[in-house]
Homo-oligomer: A and B are copies of this chain.
Amino acid sequence: MNTSLAIKNRSLHDQVVSRVRDLIIEGVLEPGSRIDEAHLIEELGVSRTPFREALRTLAAEGLLIVRPSKGSVVRKWTPDEVYSMLEVLGHLEKLAGELACQRATDAEIAELIDLHERMMGHYQSTDRLVYYKLNQEFHGRLTGLSKNDSLIEMQRILQARLKRIRYIGSQKKENWAGAVTDHEVMIEALKQRDGAALGAAMQSHLVNTWDRVKDSI
């Protein structure tokens, strides 16, 4: 019943939060749909108290909305909201790119280049899901190289909110090719430690993301 909750050394709260977060991000719980407390606590094998605490955490992360006395619903983003998130995320990743060029070690850059190569492999073999997952990791890791914890945190929150939408946007073939081109430019700038170029590339990558996803929201 509570099979996958058996990870040790993590509080029950954290486990419930990440379980439900995954259900939202993966689309098992559809945007706009109501959270069925009774059903989910049964499924997760926890009682209402920790489950509801987890809902509060997820609401603060922006993944769902708690409507007083009317239950919680999975948050559904309007096109305007998606645009605003991409606008901010693009700006944040621009900063991340600039800082990464200043602060990353050569080894860290090499690792990221390696990750990029692996992504290219999955692009060649049209392994969409693996590419998508590595792409999330790529953006997270690159932001990590900024060595700025607040930046990393804000990027992670926005990335989590956008995950579903980006997944949908990655499903058209021509979109994918465009994203890959963007990444090539980013990697080139990172190799040269050209902060301005990397920042600009990351920002325009997210502007392009809007073009790719806007029709599927």
Q: Which residues from chain A sit less than 8 Å from chain B, CB to CB?
A: 11, 13, 49, 52-54, 56-57, 59-62, 66, 68, 80-81, 84-85, 87-88, 91-92, 95, 148-151, 153-154, 158
Contacts and interface: CB of A to CB of B under 8 A. Distances in A.
The 8 closest A-B pairs by CB, nearest first: A60-B60, A11-B68, A56-B56, A84-B150, A84-B148, A88-B150, A85-B150, A91-B95
Nearest to A147: B84
26 contacts: A11-B68, A13-B56, A13-B68, A49-B49, A52-B53, A53-B56, A54-B56, A56-B56, A56-B57, A57-B59, A57-B60, A60-B61, A80-B149, A81-B150, A84-B150, A84-B151, A87-B95, A88-B92, A88-B95, A88-B151, A88-B154, A91-B91, A91-B95, A92-B92, A150-B158, A154-B154
A52 B57 CA distance: 11
Contacts of A148: 84, 87-88
User: Chain A at the B interface: mostly helix, strand, loop or mixed?
Assistant: helix
Contacts of A150: 81, 84-85, 87-88, 158
Centre residue among A57, A81, A88 by max chain B CB count within 10 A: A88
A15 to B, nearest CB: 11
Contacts of A95: 87-88, 91
